[in-house]
Structure 1
Amino acid sequence: MAPLESLTHFPPGSRVRVETLCDCPKARGRLCAMGITPGTVVEITACCGGPVCLRARGSCFSIGHGLAEKVMGRLDAAACQVA
């Protein structure tokens, strides 16, 4: 099984299954309000040191680099099998 990495470590085009969120209630609440919860698959559309752009649940989001560092996930196995 692949190790957990933050969203900032995946290249654009990656489909990542969210595994855990940080313990900070404010950050967790913000992420959950956007639909970024454990078990959700997100697609990284841009990540170049600044904000991370992603697609989740049919919507596009940009989240700051610091907040993206608090979201841990793994490459989605289903996406790897298709490629």
Structure 2
Amino acid sequence: MLLLAAAILWWLFASIRVVRVAPNTEVILARLGSAIIFLILVASLTDYPARTPTIMAVLVLAAFWLARGAKVAMHAALPRRVIDL
């Protein structure tokens, strides 16, 4: 139960982080990953679809997209180096 709660909390915080930034290619894939994970979570209320290998693979791919997009969303919008104008 603790592992499930930790996974849901990670999904929630990563999804919020991705939604709050301006969309680009990485963020759009991350939002898609978040939506896929949400749909699998909703489907898991009545059944356990993540037990099939195909859904497991889709869930891992969606989590990868979300994690990568959340990492991009954590960076500041300003450049790291000083640019002389």
Q: TM-score, with normalisation over the residues of structure 2?
A: 0.28
Report the structure, 1 or 2, having the larger helix content.
Answer: 2
Q: TM-score, normalised by structure 1?
A: 0.28
- Structure in which a larger fraction of residues adopt strand: 1
